[in-house]
Chains A and B, each alone.
Chain A
């Protein structure tokens, strides 16, 4: 079994050191195996026995700790790009679904205006909350071509992954603050608006849960980038 063992052991050791999207990891490891098999075949054709050919191929590939560091950077970057796309798609979608849910169960906000229109500061917070999801999704969308530009200038995958995590984290944080601000402001102006419709209250709870999940994804960008 020594014939398959040396390359297998190396790849198992590499696999154990890597964390990140499984599909990307499997793809990287499959390509590494191809390369090691090719190199071992070339050395075997040059006269080495099978096990020595594999040892030579593994030695040429590089120390597993060094290679794992480079591969881990790629995995962190892949996770970062996915997280940014998730922010871009999910935050606006969550806002639209919340508004549709609200309009179905409550109707127009003017239904609450029997006690007089809300104060100007409340309307300002409401407008900020309405646009927050779109603004942060736009910022995340802009981060993608900026990241590509930085990659062309030689910025490392680890640094790019950290930047993606930072952008996603700030985007989620801004959206979370906007959601909490409008919730607290609504409770202050008219607590009934929050309690009148359990489905709308449930939708708000779901939105907060989605943001918490996104925050976990953003944090993982930094965790994966740390190796």
Chain B
């Protein structure tokens, strides 16, 4: 999948990976690749600035902590982040429903 197509959805994808709890950056990248079946080929270095921008927006919070014996910066959703993720999911479902209705190949409704 092309990275240009992903950029517009990157914020929502990153928020979704943190829905299950706090993760460090590389675990977020792994989660993105795993849940997309390896289809997301975004340069991994672009994930960190995106996470920091989400932090500036107040949608995620981060801190240095020890994970598996190593110090890592971990990220978690804020309350505003949970709300933003819910809104992203609603908007995505509405979008895919509308597009599926046209592109999905089902029978067209009868003309009046």
Partners in one complex: yes
Contact between B49 and A148 (Cβ–Cβ < 8 Å)? Answer: no
Instruction: Map CB proximity to A onto B33-63 as digits: 1 under 8 Å, 0 otherwise.
Output: 0000000000111101110110011110000
A60 to B58, CA, bound (A): 28
Which of B22-30, B95-103, B104-112 makes up part of the contact surface? B22-30
Q: Is B2 an interface residue (CB 8 A)?
A: no
- Select A34's contact among B24, B46, B57, B59, beta carbons within 8 Å: B24
Interface residue range, chain B: 20 to 34
A to B contact number (C-beta, < 8 Å): 74
Instruction: Map CB proximity to B onto A60-86 as digits: 1 under 8 Å, 0 otherwise.
Output: 111100110011011001000100000
A74 to B46, CA, bound (A): 12
Which of A149-157, A173-181, A202-210 makes up part of the contact surface? A149-157
- Select A62's contact among B24, B44, B73, beta carbons within 8 Å: B44
Dominant SS among interface residues on chain B: helix
- Select B48's contact among A28, A38, A77, A151, beta carbons within 8 Å: A28
Nearest residue in A to B27 (C-beta to C-beta)? A38
Chain B residues with Cβ under 8 A from A151's Cβ?
53, 56-58
A70 to B26, CA, bound (A): 18
Contact between A39 and B24 (Cβ–Cβ < 8 Å)? Answer: no
Knowing A151-B53, A157-B53 are in contact, say whether A70-B46 is a contact too (CB < 8 A).
Answer: yes
Chain B residues with Cβ under 8 A from A71's Cβ?
48-49
Contact between A157 and B45 (Cβ–Cβ < 8 Å)? Answer: no
Knowing A60-B44, A62-B43 are in contact, say whether A31-B73 is a contact too (CB < 8 A).
Answer: yes
Q: Restricting to B71-102, which residues have a CB under 8 Å from any CB of A?
A: 72-73, 80, 84
- Select A61's contact among B11, B45, B52, beta carbons within 8 Å: B45
Chain B residues with Cβ under 8 A from A62's Cβ?
43-46
Chain A residues with Cβ under 8 A from B80's Cβ?
152
Residue numbers of A with Cβ under 8 A of B are 27-28, 30-32, 34-35, 38-39, 60-63, 66-67, 70-71, 73-74, 77, 81, 147-148, 151-152, 154, 156-157, 160
Residue numbers of B with Cβ under 8 A of A are 11, 24-26, 29, 43-46, 48-50, 52-53, 56-59, 70, 72-73, 80, 84
Q: Which 5 A-B pairs have the closest CB atoms?
A: A62-B43, A151-B57, A70-B49, A67-B45, A38-B26
